[in-house]
Amino acid sequence: MKKKIGLIGFGVIGSYIFHRIEEEGFMETGFIFEVDRKKTESVDPSLLLTSFDDFERRPVDFVVEAAMPQVVREFGPRIVKNCDLLIFSLTSLADDDFRQEVERTAITSGTRIYIPHGAIIGLDGVHDGREVIEEVQITTTKNPKNLGLPDEGATQPVVVYEGPTRGACEQFPRNVNVHASIALAALGFDRTRSKIVADPGTSSMAHVIEVIGKGLSWKIKVESTPAGGVTGAYTPESAYQTVKRIGVDRPGLRFA
């Protein structure tokens, strides 16, 4: 039996996942919820939810959230009462009270909340090493427009935030999901350090992750061109492969 998924958000990531599912046919799309109807004009209307109140009447195996943090906060607990949830707007989990609420709900309901690696590599290694890791810093460099900042004629890179990752998630909720995923994987939102650089001279999005611990020192750099306002070119394919790992159980060689 093919697993059926629900999609919340039909921007760069959501639409890419949908079309890849259609191409490969390993899964089925049970519904799409997107408030901007222009984005779904080419989609079979029978797949569209006009209101999320219809969610329970369209059962799926898991829901993929690819919208924005407030959507996770609004619908997350309700979703995990019914099925598994894959979250891409990870800055929503910087709110400790909310994160604990949605996790308790999932545990009580017997469902899972999946954290994707998204735009970065090495998240599994960071998570596996969390007991011996002592320091983590993530530095993100983007063009000001990709950070949602106004163009004020700056010509040199400017550090627009430096401090605990929790503060970065509050100030740049749509831009630092990488930081949130690293914080969740190891040291948390207060001990993980974030640095965000607005560079008007760059056309790429770069993340540098520096990890220090007992007997280890890692430096990981990931760089890609933008596929959308806040999304790098690698992220949509990475997102689809994450969905596929969750949704397709096939025999043979598997990465764990």
**What are the structural domains of the chain?**
4-116+235-247 (3.40.50.720), 123-224 (3.30.360.10)
Q: Are 65 and 83 in contact (CB under 8 A)?
A: no
* pLDDT tens readout for residues 144-200: 988 988 877 778 999 999 999 999 999 999 899 999 999 999 999 999 999 999 999
pLDDT number for residue 224:
85
Percent of the chain past pLDDT 90, that is, above it, reads 78
Question: How far is the C-alpha of 159 from the C-alpha of 117, rounded, in Å?
Answer: 25
Alpha carbons 189 and 181: distance in angstroms, whole number:
10
Give the pLDDT of residue 251: 79
For the chain, the straight-line distance linking the first and the last C-alpha, in angstroms and rounded, comes to: 23
Largest CA distance in the chain: 56
pLDDT, mean over the chain: 92
Buried b (16+ CB within 10 A) or exposed e, 31-69: bbbbeeeeebeebeeebebeebeebeeeebbbbbbbbbb
Which contiguous run of DSSP H or E holds residue 49? Answer: none
Where are the extended beta strands (E) located within 99-231? Answer: 113-114, 133-142, 158-164, 193-198, 205-213, 216-224
Q: What is the pTM of this model?
A: 0.92
pLDDT tens per residue across span 212-253: 999 999 999 998 887 666 666 778 899 999 999 999 877 777
In whole angstroms, give the CA distance from residue 129 to residue 4.
33
User: pLDDT tens digits, residue range 34-79?
Assistant: 999 999 999 999 999 999 988 999 999 999 999 999 999 999 999 9
